[in-house]
Amino acid sequence: MSSQLLNNTFKNIGITARHVLPAEGKGKIINIIKYLHKKNTNIFVTEKVYKILQKIITDKQILNNCTLLTPEKIHTLDLFIFFGGDGTLLNVLHEFAPEIFSIPIFGINGGNLGFFSSVTKENGITALDELFAGKYTKDARIVAKGELINENSSILETFYSVNEITIHHTGIARLRHLTVELSSEYLTTYKSDGLIISTPTGSTAYNLAAGGPIVAPQMNAFVITPLAPAGFSQRPIVLPSSKIFKISVDSSMRISIDGQKYFEIKKNNTLLITESKTPLTFLRLENERYYKNLREKLGWG
C-alpha cells in the first residue's frame, strides 16, 4: 500500500448497500446520499438503494440527482462506495464485472465480519471528509480470471473471482480426483472432496476455514487448498499467480465463484485460472492498517 496522498476529484460516484437494512442502516445510507449531494457529485445507485431512496427521501432535488446504475454507466464512475459487509461488495462486483475492477472502491462497514472495509458506519461521514480531502492511499488486490473450456477448446464461461474459486461435488459425497497443471507442468492429482483456489484477499475467507494459510494481500499468489484430502501429504500450497492453472476432474462437479455464481464442470471440461490484467483497487484512509484490522477481525491478542 502506497503512503503517497492522492488528490483526485470524485465527480461521478456509484453506491450500493446491504440487501436488508434496519432503520438505522437506512438512515446512514440516506445521510451518505445527502453528503454526496452537497458535494455536487453525480450519484449512481444500484437498484436496492434506489428503492430505499424512493420510500424515504422527500427532497425531489436529491432524488433527481440519483441515477440508476447500469453496466453501461460503470465506466463513467470515479469512485464506488459500498455500505455493508463483504457479501455486499461481492454481489455488486459480480453484477458489474469486469468493468467495475477499474473503479476505486471505498467501503463503509454496515455488515458484520467484514475484511473489505475497516471504516465503521458510525464514522462513515468523517471518513468521506478525509477521502474528499485526498487523505487516502491505494490498496491494489489481484483478481482471478476463470475460463471453463469444453473438449472442443471452446470457452463455455468466463468469470472473475475476488475471493476464491471452489470446485466441489454436487451429489453423493465421495472422493474425487482433480488434476492440476501449472503452465503445462504437472503439479499433482488431488484425491479430495474438492479444491479451493484462493486469492490473497480470499485467504481469510473459505480458504482459512478449510485450513489454508493467510496470505498478505500485496502478494501476487494463489493458494490451492484441498477439501478433506484423502492423504496427509496433500496440503495447501501457495503458488505464483503468474502461472496458468489448468484443472480437470474425473466426474461432474460444481464450480462456485465467491459464493455468488455457480457452473458445472464436466469430466471432459477444463478450468483455466489466470491473474486478471486489472486488479481491484481499494481506497484506504491514512490510519487504516491491514494487520491491525486482521488482529481485530480474528480476535488475536
Q: Determine, yes or no, domain membership for 129.
A: yes
**61: phi then psi, degrees, rounded to nearest 5:** -65, -40
194 and 184 in a single domain? The answer is yes
152 and 257 in a single domain? The answer is yes
- The answer to whether residue 193 is catalytic is no
pLDDT value, residue 232: 85
Q: Determine, yes or no, domain membership for 7.
A: no
pLDDT value, residue 117: 82
Assign 3-state DSSP to the chain and report helix, strand, coil percentages, each to 5.
25, 35, 35
Those residues of the chain that have pLDDT short of 70 are: 1-8, 111-113
pLDDT value, residue 21: 83
172 and 256 in a single domain? The answer is yes
Q: Which domain holds residue 137?
A: 12-142+279-298
| DSSP secondary structure letters along 153-193 | S-EEEEEEESSEEEEE-SSS---EEEEEEETTEEEEEEEES
224 and 130 in a single domain? The answer is no
pLDDT digits (tens, 9 = 90+) for 57-78: 888 898 899 999 999 999 999 9
Please answer whether residues 80 and 104 qualify as being in contact, where contact means their C-beta atoms are separated by less than 8 angstroms.
yes
Q: Determine, yes or no, domain membership for 3.
A: no
pLDDT value, residue 5: 45
Please answer whether residues 255 and 263 qualify as being in contact, where contact means their C-beta atoms are separated by less than 8 angstroms.
yes
pLDDT value, residue 111: 64
43 and 126 in a single domain? The answer is yes
Rounded Cα gap, residues 72 and 164, in angstroms: 27
Tally of domains in the chain: 2
Q: Is 170 exposed, middle or buried (0-12, 13-18, 19+ CB in 10 A)?
A: exposed
- The CATH number linked to 186 is 2.60.200.30
Q: Determine, yes or no, domain membership for 5.
A: no
- The CATH number linked to 128 is 3.40.50.10330
205 and 270 in a single domain? The answer is yes
Rounded Cα gap, residues 79 and 70, in angstroms: 15
Q: Determine, yes or no, domain membership for 171.
A: yes
pLDDT value, residue 39: 94
Q: Which residues pair with 261 in a beta bridge?
A: 257
228 and 163 in a single domain? The answer is yes
152 and 134 in a single domain? The answer is no
182 and 106 in a single domain? The answer is no
221 and 289 in a single domain? The answer is no
Rounded Cα gap, residues 147 and 11, in angstroms: 35
Give me the catalytic one of 59, 78, 86, 250.
86
70 and 166 in a single domain? The answer is no
43 and 119 in a single domain? The answer is yes
**pTM of the model as a whole:** 0.92
